[in-house]
Structure formats: C-alpha cells, structure tokens
C-alpha cells in the first residue's frame, strides 16, 4: 500500500545500506537508540557486522525514533528498512506508514515508480533497485491458476519477472466467491514461495520449506519463519513477546549435549574464503628451521632506541621486514592469478596482510605498500592494525587488496603450521614459536633461540625453485639481521 505524501514525508525510513562492495546482508550487533529517543542527522544509531567488519551506521534524518524493525542479533538483507524516524513529532500522534494502511483511491497510480540507479546514503550505497515494475493487484474475472500465479510470484522473488502467460477465457458457470489470500501461518499447497537467500538458509539448516507456515505477505516464507522452524522453543518465546521487533534466533539445543549456532558474519566469510582458496589454488607448503638468536637480540636493542620510542617492537616486526626484503629480491612472487582472463597479474606494491584473531573470528587486514615503509613506519602501522582489529573497528577497505600475508602462530606456543592462502594472494608465511634449543653454532652445540617458518604459496604462480629461494632468503635475514641493511 502507498502512504500519502504528507505521511511519507513525516515518517522517514532508513534501509540497511551496502557498507561494502557487493555485500548482501548484515547482522545488527547493537542499537544505540530506542523508540522515543531524539536523533540528529549524522548520529550513529546502530552497529552492524558484515562479512568483512563491524560498522557503525549514522541516521540521515533529524527527529524522534518511531520504530526499530529488527532486534539485536538479527541478520538483515541490504535494502530492508531497519528503523523509521518521525521528522515532525510536534504534529501530534500519527501512525507510521505501514503495509496494512488503507489505500487511497487513485486510478491513475497504476504503477509504483522507483528512482533509477543506486541511491547514496551516509555509509556505502543502498540496494540496487529492481528492474521489475509491479502493478496493483486486481481481482481476476476468472479464477486464477494457482500454479501459474505461484510461479510468477516466485519469479519476482528471484528477481526474474516473466510475462504472464496468455490465458484464453472459456465460458464458466457463475464464479464462486474468490478465495481469500492465505492467512499468515497457514501452510500452502504447491511449491513454497521464498527468496533465494531464505531457500539457502533453509537448506543449510536442513529445514523442508514445505513444512513451514509462512508469515510473509502473499504466503511468502521469511528468514524468521525458517529460524522459527529450526528452533521451536525459541520461536515460541519470540511469538509471546510483545511488539513487532524481530528477535535473533538462539542457539538450538539438541540431544546428546550438543548445540547448534548459525554461521554468520566474519565466521561465515572466513569459512567461505578458506574453502574457496583450498579448492581453487594448488597449495604447496615448505618449512625451514632457523637460528634467530641475533634477531631476538636486535629486538631488545630496538626497544631502547629513541627512534622507536612509543612504538611496539616485537619479533613479528622483524619477520615482516625480512619478508619484505625477500620479496624485493623476488618481485615475481607478488602476483595474482586472473582466472577469467587467464593472466598472471604482477603487483608493484606489496600489501602485507597480518592475520588477526578477534572475538568475532579471523580477519586479515593489510598494510598498503608495506615495502616502502621504514622500520618505524612499519612498526606504527602494525600497532594500529592490531589495535583496530581487536576493537572490531577494521574497515572493509583495510581487508581488501592484500597480496601476501603473515600469520603468527607462535604466540600460541605452536611450532608451525600449513597455512591456507587468503583468496587472491600468492603466499602466506607462518611464524612459529621461538624456543631455546640445542644448536650447532661455530662448531659447538649451544643453547640458541630457534624458530620454524612455513611458507604456503600458489603453485600456479610460484614454482618450487622460486618458493624455496623466497623462504631461504627470509630465514637468512632472520639468522643475520644485518642483511636488512645489505640486502635492503
């Protein structure tokens, strides 16, 4: 239904924007406002988590919060209204635009018009408008064919509107009263109607759509319907709660001391990326054990250096610098595989990724053009990157465009591992724990500080010789850190 212009102008709706290129959904982590709160243009009203990062969303209106359409923990599709604001609260009480508002007679308004192109919002862009124009529904003169109507509606949900089939009218006896639209909660016969993301969610959770009672308009199954079917106990408590705000599905308890938690946000993106990388790029992993006693001494000396005052100096800093020096000696490693064009793309800048474990999962922000940084500049960038990641404030831009990565598994006491490439990158270096071990030094067995490095690389881009030379050079720098000067 269409609200009057005055009503629509008073109650402004804010939709979930695309806060990163190509993202389709985001989870509402926290609301900073509640209905009745006064908000100003540019004020942050909520924090959402996409597949890449947590982002704060500002509201582009002045007024009073009228309604929050979703609760915390709910995943919302881009382009869905999440909050409405009363921009003229002094005008007195009035109902916000709603789907069940009476439609004013307007014979000429046969079609809803939509603005062309994506509309800019304060964060990212809104959802791309559909190319499908929907006419107002009219009562058919003859009984509609349920299968054809259902297929047409499902085509609209899939974003592929098809022309209505030509139906030749035939004489029929007096038509019985038209059947009412399916009531919310009624299970309809035939193929269930649902959007593609909802169908995927049901498949992932092992739910048969035919067994779900739809609550959406026109008998459409919603995401909440699927979660309710997966968690009957949680759904019952949600149904009893007052108010229209959707509530996030809880973990589903099952017999045998297990629990099931929906995979979403950073964890979901990480899983998809690792599967794509592991089964797309042919991985090769090589290992080397190296005496890093001199490097560890240099770390202690740098901590006392006035030029490094206020900066975080640790072994990872020198491992990163050694990696960059080795890449300068073997620039062909800094490349990417373009499957679509069957080309190898050689990169001039090294965007060095640092794998960071956060409460929301693993993320890999990167330092842009890290090869051009001095040691103090690299230390400052590393400190900022880690702090931002742990606070959950890493931007999507900081996690895009990486070329190689370092993962520091040594902080967990692990000797090494076989790291999986970050999609689109050519190599990843695992830095293991530094331990005091017996080592032959100048012809005698002595206690030395030793670590193991593991380098995984894309064998489409890097053959065994090149990968071995790169890893050997990294180890050589760490064994004798003066090579940072002679090779750098």
Q: What is the DSSP string of 328-374?
A: HH-GGGSEEEETTTTEEEE-SS--EEE-EEETTEEE--EETTGGG--
Q: Give me the numbers of helices (H) and strands (E) for the chain, helices first please.
A: 11, 23
Per-residue pLDDT in tens (0 to 9) along the chain, 488 residues: 455 566 667 889 999 888 765 678 888 989 999 999 999 998 999 988 876 677 889 999 899 999 999 999 898 988 999 999 999 887 766 554 544 444 444 444 444 444 444 444 444 444 444 444 444 544 544 444 555 555 555 555 555 444 444 444 444 444 444 444 444 444 545 678 877 777 777 777 778 888 888 888 878 888 788 877 776 533 343 333 444 444 445 555 555 678 888 887 777 877 888 888 887 889 999 999 999 999 999 999 999 999 999 999 999 999 999 999 999 999 999 999 999 999 999 999 999 999 988 877 788 999 999 999 999 999 999 999 988 988 888 888 898 899 999 999 999 999 999 999 999 999 999 999 999 999 999 999 999 999 999 999 999 999 999 999 999 999 999 999 999 999 97
Roughly how many angstroms between the first and final C-alpha of the chain, as a whole number?
68
- pLDDT for 127 equals 46
Whole-number Å distance between alpha carbons of 288 and 278: 22
Nearest to 350 by CA among 277, 402, 414, 292: 402
Whole-number Å distance between alpha carbons of 58 and 43: 5
Whole-number Å distance between alpha carbons of 407 and 416: 10
- pLDDT for 119 equals 47
- pLDDT for 7 equals 62
Give the Å distances, CA to CA, from 358 to 27, 53, 355, 365, 387.
Answer: 17, 11, 10, 12, 10
Q: How many Cβ atoms from other residues are within 10 Å of residue 130's Cβ?
A: 12
The tokens of 151 are what?
């297929």
Is residue 330 among the annotated active site residues?
A: no
Nearest to 453 by CA among 428, 482, 485: 428
- pLDDT for 445 equals 97
- pLDDT for 442 equals 93
**From the candidates 66, 227, 330, 459, which is the catalytic residue?**
459
Please tell me what DSSP assigns to residue 196. Answer: H
Q: Is 79 exposed, middle or buried (0-12, 13-18, 19+ CB in 10 A)?
A: middle
Looking at the DSSP bridge assignments, the partners of residue 445 are 440
The tokens of 221 are what?
């199954």
- pLDDT for 223 equals 79
Residue 67 near residue 114 (C-beta atoms within 8 A): no
- pLDDT for 5 equals 61
3-state helix, strand, coil in the chain (%, to 5): 30, 25, 45
Give the Å distances, CA to CA, from 257 to 140, 253, 260, 368.
Answer: 54, 8, 10, 46
């Amino acid at each position: 239904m269409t609200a009057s212009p005055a009503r629509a102008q008073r109650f402004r709706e804010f939709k979930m924007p695309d806060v990163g290129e190509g993202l389709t959904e985001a989870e509402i982590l926290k609301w900073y406002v509640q209905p009745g709160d006064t908000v100003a243009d540019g004020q942050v009203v909520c924090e959402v988590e996409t597949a890449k990062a947590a982002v704060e969303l500002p509201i582009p209106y002045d007024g009073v919060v009228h309604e929050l359409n979703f609760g915390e923990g709910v995943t919302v599709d881009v382009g869905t209204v999440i909050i409405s604001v009363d921009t003229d609260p002094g005008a007195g009480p009035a109902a916000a635009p709603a789907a069940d508002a009476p439609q004013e007679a307007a014979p000429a308004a046969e079609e809803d018009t939509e603005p062309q192109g994506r509309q800019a919002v304060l964060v990212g862009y809104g959802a791309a408008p559909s190319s499908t124009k929907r006419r107002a529904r009219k009562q058919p003169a003859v009984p509609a064919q349920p299968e054809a109507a259902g297929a047409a509606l499902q085509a609209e949900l899939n974003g592929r509107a098809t022309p209505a089939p030509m139906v030749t009218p035939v004489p029929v006896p007096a038509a019985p009263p038209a059947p009412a639209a399916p009531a919310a909660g009624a299970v309809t016969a035939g193929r269930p109607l649902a959007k593609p993301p909802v169908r995927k969610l049901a498949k992932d959770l092992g739910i048969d759509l035919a067994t779900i009672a739809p609550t959406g308009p026109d008998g459409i199954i919603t995401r909440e319907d699927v979660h309710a079917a997966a968690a009957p106990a949680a759904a019952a408590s949600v149904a009893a709660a007052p108010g229209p705000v959707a509530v996030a599905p809880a973990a589903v308890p099952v017999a045998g001391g297990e629990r099931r938690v929906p995979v979403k946000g950073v964890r979901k993106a990480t899983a998809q990326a690792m599967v794509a990388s592991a089964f797309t790029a042919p991985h090769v992993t090589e290992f080397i054990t190296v005496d890093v006693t001199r490097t560890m001494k240099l770390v202690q000396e740098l901590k006392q250096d006035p030029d490094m005052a206020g900066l975080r100096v640790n072994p990872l800093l020198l491992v990163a610098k050694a990696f960059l020096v080795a890449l300068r000696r073997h620039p062909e490693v800094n490349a990417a595989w373009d499957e679509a064009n069957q080309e190898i793309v050689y990169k001039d800048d090294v965007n060095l990724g640092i794998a960071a474990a956060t409460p929301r999962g693993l993320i890999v922000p990167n330092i842009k053009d890290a090869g051009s940084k001095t040691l103090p500049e690299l230390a400052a960038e590393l400190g900022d990157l880690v702090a931002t990641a742990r606070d959950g404030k890493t931007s999507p831009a900081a996690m895009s465009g990486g070329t190689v990565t370092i993962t520091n598994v040594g902080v967990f006491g692990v000797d090494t591992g076989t790291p999986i490439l970050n999609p689109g990158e050519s190599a990843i270096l695992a830095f293991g724990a530094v331990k005091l071990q017996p080592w032959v030094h100048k012809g005698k067995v002595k206690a030395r500080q030793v670590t193991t490095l593991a380098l995984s690389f894309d064998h489409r881009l890097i053959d065994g010789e090149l990968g071995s030379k790169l890893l050997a050079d990294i180890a050589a720098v760490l064994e004798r850190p003066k090579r940072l000067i002679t090779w750098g």
